[in-house]
């Protein structure tokens, strides 16, 4: 941990990094119109993405980066493939291809973001349809959104997971846009259930929790991508910080702000000297393992979201933490080579696969840079 965080907010540097990212986007845009980047599969040789079918939770991050680029630059070339994205993502809904709680990630960064930036009514209709399908995954008795698998079908249990916090903004947006209270009620209820079970008393987090779909009862915490059931998976903790800050933005519910801030303190306490987190908080500079640059990117956005919600004194500290993390990511894990489509190295999807570039780590790094440069048109 390098508190106090004194890293300056270096806007000219953020602009230069953004220009490098935009050059990569320009070079790769034509390759990703209905198949999209996910993780780089051969880290030592490649550091390049390959186009993957639109059936993953990550498919919207590349279109999301193109929209960030349009928002930052005003260059309409970044909108050139939006019709292709809409075709691909509408088709996914129509055919119900891999439908899970991740509808939020997928349709916020394609439908909601495009609608907010350009007023595209097709994007709005698509996002509302996705929100309706996400709401269908709500278990009334347990007051939770089921993460994976066929709704209500357990083995014998189903799971809630911390990642879902980033899927709630689609419901909050749908509630505001349609005036239908049910969307907001579901999102609020799920966030409380997440705070009750997935967030521990010390504000660390379980990755997942088993729930009984018949009774709605919570059973026990488990990990899926972390080191072990009782550890704190860094990316999960970043989803908690960012997701509760976003839930607070929409609701002004004090509990959500408190969870986000206290989970952020846990994250800060676990930052190593270079401010880029290890993939699980079981590891540190004395007991090192691999980093997860993507957890750092998400956390930086969470700190900037929190900074937007807090009093001046806290705002300055939260922005300084975000700047320090962004600087750590840039100094140690940024891929300058324009021929490589990956942007940040050393992300972790599943630990067993080793370090890779991850499209979500790239997305949140770029979002953080843009939040630091301008009054951002919020996508979430
Ligand atoms: N939402 C899945 C992950 O963070 O790996």
**pLDDT at residue number 45:** 57
Report how far residue 1's alpha carbon sits from residue 209's, in angstroms, rounded to the nearest whole number: 29
Q: 377 near 112, Cβ under 8 Å? A: no
DSSP for residue 110:
I
Tell the residue number behind the tokens 């550091």, with chain if given. 47
What is the pLDDT, as a whole number, of residue 196? 98
Taking the centre of ligand 1 as the mean of its atom positions, its distance from the CA of residue 273, in whole angstroms, is: 25
pLDDT per residue as tens digits for the range 217-270: 999 999 999 999 999 999 999 999 999 999 999 999 999 999 999 999 999 999
Q: Which residue among 38, 57, 164, 359 has the greatest number of ligand 1 atoms within 8 angstroms of its CB, and so is best to mutate?
A: 57
CB–CB of 101/161 below 8 Å? yes
- pLDDT at residue 299, rounded to an integer: 98
Residues with pLDDT less than 50, the chain:
none
Partners of residue 261 on adjacent β-strands = none
24 lines ligand 1 (CB under 6 A): no
Q: What is the pLDDT of residue 241?
A: 98
pLDDT at 44: 56
User: What pLDDT does 311 receive?
Assistant: 85
Instruction: Write out the catalytic residue numbers.
Output: 102, 163
Determine the pLDDT at residue 5: 83
């Amino acid at each position: 941990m390098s508190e106090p965080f004194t890293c300056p907010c270096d806007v000219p540097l953020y602009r230069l990094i953004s220009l490098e990212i935009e050059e990569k986007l320009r070079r790769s845009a034509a390759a990703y119109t209905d198949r999209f980047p996910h993780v780089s599969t051969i880290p030592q040789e490649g550091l390049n993405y390959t186009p993957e079918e639109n059936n993953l939770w990550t498919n919207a991050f590349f279109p999301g980066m193109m929209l960030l680029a349009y928002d930052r630059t005003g260059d309409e070339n970044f909108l050139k493939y939006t019709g292709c994205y809409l075709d691909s993502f509408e088709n996914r809904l129509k055919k119900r291809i891999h439908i899970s709680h991740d509808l939020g990630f997928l349709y916020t960064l394609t439908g909601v973001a495009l609608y907010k930036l350009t007023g595209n009514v097709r994007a709005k209709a698509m996002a509302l349809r996705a929100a309706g399908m996400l709401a269908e995954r709500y278990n009334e008795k347990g007051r939770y959104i089921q993460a994976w698998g066929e709704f209500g079908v357990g083995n014998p249990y189903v799971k809630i997971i911390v990642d879902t916090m980033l899927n709630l903004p689609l419901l909050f947006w749908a509630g505001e846009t349609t005036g239908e209270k049910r969307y907001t009620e579901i999102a609020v209820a799920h966030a409380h259930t997440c705070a009750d079970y997935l967030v521990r008393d010390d504000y660390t987090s379980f990755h997942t929790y088993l729930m009984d779909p018949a009774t709605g009862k919570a059973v026990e915490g488990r990990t899926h991508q972390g080191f072990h059931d009782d550890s704190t998976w860094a990316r999960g903790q970043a989803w908690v910080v960012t997701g509760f800050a976003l839930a607070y933005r929409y609701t002004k519910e004090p509990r959500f702000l408190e969870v986000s801030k206290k989970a952020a303190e846990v994250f800060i306490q676990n930052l190593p000297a270079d401010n880029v987190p290890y993939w699980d908080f079981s590891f540190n500079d004395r007991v090192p393992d691999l980093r997860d640059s993507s957890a750092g990117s998400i956390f930086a956005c969470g700190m900037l979201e929190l900074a937007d919600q807090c009093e001046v004194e806290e705002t300055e500290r939260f922005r300084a933490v975000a700047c320090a993390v962004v600087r750590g990511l840039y100094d140690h894990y940024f891929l300058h080579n324009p021929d490589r489509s990956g942007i940040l190295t050393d992300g972790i999807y599943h630990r067993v696969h080793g370090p890779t570039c991850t499209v979500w780590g790239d997305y949140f790094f770029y979002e953080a840079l843009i939040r630091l440069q301008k009054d951002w048109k919020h996508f979430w």
